[in-house]
Structure 1
Amino acid sequence: MSVIEEGAKKSGVLWISLPGSRRPRLAWHTWHDGAIYVVTGGPEQRLPGLAEADRVRVTLRSKDNGSRLTEFDARVEVVDQSASPEAVAALAKDRLNAPDAATLTDRWARSATVVRLTPA
């Protein structure tokens, strides 16, 4: 298992350096099928410019002590939510405290963007 996969699986948060942003943004995520998935938009976490970016810089920190575990570039791809139900379900499962857990994926389909970050 690579350090990226291990770090992404062990921690539910990461930092993404977004285009035009002065400092990285904290985001929750899930690891699924060799990539990191995040959701942005609507009432979910705000990650402006992520869906339009080609690449971003991702930082994973150790869950144990908070130190930087690894940093890497990732290719950005907007996910067709209807064509990737397993990835969206995995992301929804890791969404803590959703007020509408039973209909969460329906809300995402209407108002949010799911993004796949593939280590480059």
Structure 2
Amino acid sequence: MANAITVEPVTEQNADRAAAVAEGAKKSGILWLALDRPRLAWHAWHDGAIHIVTGGEEQRLPGLDALDRVHVTLRSKDNGARLVEFDAAVTVVDQAESPDVVAALAKERLNARDSEHLPERWARESTIVRLTPEL
């Protein structure tokens, strides 16, 4: 059958992994991405996915917005130990249609020189990507 979708059965193991990803992403504001080299990135967990701002005056994550998938490593906020690794689907977010995502990221952005104007600056010069864990 063309266009058939294969759905992985929900098992206790992938439910546990999903819970570990959600908990790790909520507790730690940084993660590692496997790009041209391992890259550290700040992010926000929102609506079941990781969201990242890249480009402009924000973090440089070359090629992230052009990928279909990226390998992600979450580490413990307490001791830096690796919590969980997974692949994530990469989707560019339409900022105008996702004000809740922009607001979640702005809330997590530390030490911005222009906090009150982040959404406008990001719309002009940055890309927001959604990383949806593939478990």
Question: Shift in Å at residue 64 of structure 1?
Answer: 1.3
Q: Where does residue 72 of structure 1 map in the other structure?
A: 86
* Structure 2 partner of 1:101: 115
Amino acid at match of 1:107: R
Equivalence for 1:46 = 60
Q: Secondary structure at the match of 1:26?
A: strand
Distance 1:48 1:6 in 2: 27
Alignment of 1:10 onto 2:27: yes
Aligned equivalent of 2:105:
91
Larger helix fraction of residues: 2
Unaligned runs of 5+ in 1: none
CA RMSD of aligned residues (A): 0.8
Counterpart-to-counterpart distance in 2, 1:65 and 1:93: 24
**TM superposition score normalised by structure 1:** 0.96
Residue of structure 2 in register with 1:81 after alignment: 95
Aligned residue identity for 1:12: G
Q: How far 1:24 sits from its partner (Å)?
A: 1.1
Q: TM-score, structure 2 length as denominator? A: 0.85
Paired residue for 1:118? 132
- One-letter identity of the residue aligned with 1:48: P
- Runs of at least 4 residues off by over 4 Å: none
Residue identity opposite 2:69 in structure 1 = R
Where does the alignment leave 5 or more consecutive residues of structure 2 unmatched? 1-17
AA in 2 matched with 1:2: A
1:24 aligns with 2:12: no
